[in-house]
């Protein structure tokens, strides 16, 4: 097939046609178990009937009207996010990068509003962090290979080692407007934050009147077994970004914040044509009402535990993984020394064996399946991975 798209993506050698739950079919009728979940987006599997209903119902009412008006679906979704988190206000956009872009812009503006002419604009971020692909967010991200080619980059950004308490204490000062942290570094290897690091960040921000931003684009919306991953800790962020699973496949992002901070987004200071559009928000509400239930969140913990155990068993039997890490249904298998850097090769073999998985960097095989993953699909997925590993170790 001719590829009419720019070559920045390396597409897998199959063409997905349709999907349901944790099953995907390609144009040859081949079936796959999906443990990748569209990169932590399809949190309720594919084509969930209640999401289809919400989409169709809204499609007959109002698709788009612009942010000159507010709409009931936008208010309904914002209300849900506010009622179940630290937040008091929500800004809607269309992606994770845009949610973080809004967060960083708001942090700069908040500092300017409250501490004028003090040069308080620095953003402290983590090495190997990932926050999106706009110029600002890719610069805040801690992987220079993603940003170097686009220099000159925005200034006033500093990177420190992830989970390094001494480094955060040393880096945050009166010039800092914000610290940004992922509760689990997703793209760079499914590496969980330590509570000590989060608490140190909170304390450093409080000492220097800086904002704590948590990027929950990947970890939010039930992925770890709580609505947001930071709810495992006794910590109050100033801003949280969400996207990926928020629309379960309909593009939507959100920046959650407090009233005191959100006030700096004065009329006209920031915007979005599509942000908060009624179709996306109606689906978001339906998704929220399924994700934010004890049944779904318990399934995440239960299946997360079983998936972890299954992966550890495969690891013990084959020696391909050095470690299985992560939380809930965001898991990463670190390749062992003998197979260093070969996660993508194993992912390709999994595909050939009817299994969709992800990588995170070149050394971690990543899993982000449906939060509604069933026992049967989990077992079939593990069997197919076992077959793929068997082929992998014989290469």
Ligand X SMILES: *Cc1c(COP(=O)(O)O)cnc(C)c1O
Binding site listing for pyridoxal 5'-phosphate: 96-97, 130, 215-218, 273
Q: Does 215 bind ligand X (CB under 6 A)?
A: yes
Q: Does 186 bind ligand X (CB under 6 A)?
A: yes
Residue 191 or 378: the one with the smaller Cβ distance to ligand X is 191
Residue 238 or 377: the one with the smaller Cβ distance to ligand X is 238
User: Which candidate, 219, 336, 360, 358, places its Cα nearest to that of 385?
Assistant: 358
**Shortest CB 121 distance to ligand X, Å:** 21
Residue 242 or 349: the one with the smaller Cβ distance to ligand X is 242
Q: Does 132 bind ligand X (CB under 6 A)?
A: yes
**Separation of alpha carbons 388 and 376, rounded Å:** 18
Q: Are 214 and 157 in contact (CB under 8 A)?
A: no
For tokens 């955060």, name the residue: 168
Residue 96 or 354: the one with the smaller Cβ distance to ligand X is 96
Q: Does 218 bind ligand X (CB under 6 A)?
A: yes
Binding residues: 96-97, 130, 133, 215-218, 272-273
**Separation of alpha carbons 129 and 157, rounded Å:** 13
Q: At what angle do helices 343-352 and 375-393 cross, to 10 degrees?
A: 120
Cβ neighbors of 105 (< 8 A, separation 6 or more) are: 136, 270
Return the range that interacts with ligand X (CB under 6 A); candidates 82-90, 125-133, 191-199, 345-353.
125-133
3-state DSSP assignment of residue 394: coil
Q: At what angle do helices 294-318 and 375-393 cross, to 10 degrees?
A: 20
Residue 122 or 187: the one with the smaller Cβ distance to ligand X is 187
Q: Specify burial of residue 270 (Cβ count, 10 A radius: 0-12, 13-18, 19+).
A: middle
Return the range that interacts with ligand X (CB under 6 A); candidates 90-98, 192-200, 201-209, 221-229.
90-98
- Residue from the set 36, 172, 180, 243 that interacts with ligand X by CB under 6 A: 243
Q: Are 179 and 129 in contact (CB under 8 A)?
A: no
- In the region spanning residues 354 to 383, those forming contacts with ligand X, defined by CB under 6 A, are none
Write out the residues near ligand X by the rule CB under 6 A. 95-97, 100, 130-132, 182, 186-187, 215, 217-218, 243-244
């Amino acid at each position: 097939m001719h590829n009419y798209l720019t070559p920045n993506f390396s597409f897998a050698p199959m063409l997905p046609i349709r999907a349901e739950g944790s099953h995907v079919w390609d144009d040859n009728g081949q079936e796959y178990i999906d443990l990748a979940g569209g990169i932590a987006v399809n949190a309720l599997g594919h084509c969930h009937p209640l999401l289809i209903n919400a989409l169709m119902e809204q499609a007959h009412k109002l698709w788009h009207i612009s942010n000159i008006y507010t709409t009931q679906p936008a208010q309904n979704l914002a209300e849900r996010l506010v009622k179940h988190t630290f937040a008091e206000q929500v800004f809607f956009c269309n992606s994770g990068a845009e949610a973080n872009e809004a967060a960083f812009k708001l942090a700069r503006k908040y500092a300017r509003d409250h501490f004028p002419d003090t040069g308080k604009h620095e953003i402290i971020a983590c090495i190997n962090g990932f926050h999106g692909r706009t110029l600002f967010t890719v610069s805040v991200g801690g992987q220079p290979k993603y940003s170097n080619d686009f220099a000159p980059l925005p200034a006033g950004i500093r990177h420190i080692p992830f989970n390094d308490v001494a480094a955060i204490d040393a880096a945050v000062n009166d010039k800092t407007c914000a610290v940004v942290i992922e509760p689990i570094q997703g793209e760079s290897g499914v590496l969980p934050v330590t509570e000590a690091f989060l608490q140190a960040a909170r304390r450093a921000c409080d000492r220097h009147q800086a904002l704590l931003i948590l990027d929950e684009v990947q970890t939010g919306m039930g992925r770890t077994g709580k609505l947001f991953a930071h709810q495992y800790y006794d910590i109050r962020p100033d801003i949280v970004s969400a996207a990926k699973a928020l629309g379960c496949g309909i593009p939507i992002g959100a920046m959650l914040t407090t009233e005191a901070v959100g006030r700096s987004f004065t009329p006209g200071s920031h915007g979005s044509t599509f942000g908060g559009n009624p179709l996306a928000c109606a689906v978001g509400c339906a998704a929220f009402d399924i994700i934010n239930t004890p049944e779904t969140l318990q399934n995440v913990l239960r299946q997360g535990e079983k998936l972890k155990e299954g992966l550890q068993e495969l690891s013990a039997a084959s020696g391909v993984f050095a470690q299985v890490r992560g939380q809930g249904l965001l898991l990463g298998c670190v390749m062992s020394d003998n197979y260093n850097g070969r996660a993508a090769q194993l992912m390709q073999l999994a595909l050939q064996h009817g299994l969709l998985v992800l990588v995170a960097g070149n050394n971690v095989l990543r899993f982000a399946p449906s939060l509604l993953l069933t026992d049967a699909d989990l077992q079939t997925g593990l069997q197919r991975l076992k077959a793929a590993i068997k082929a992998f170790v014989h290469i």
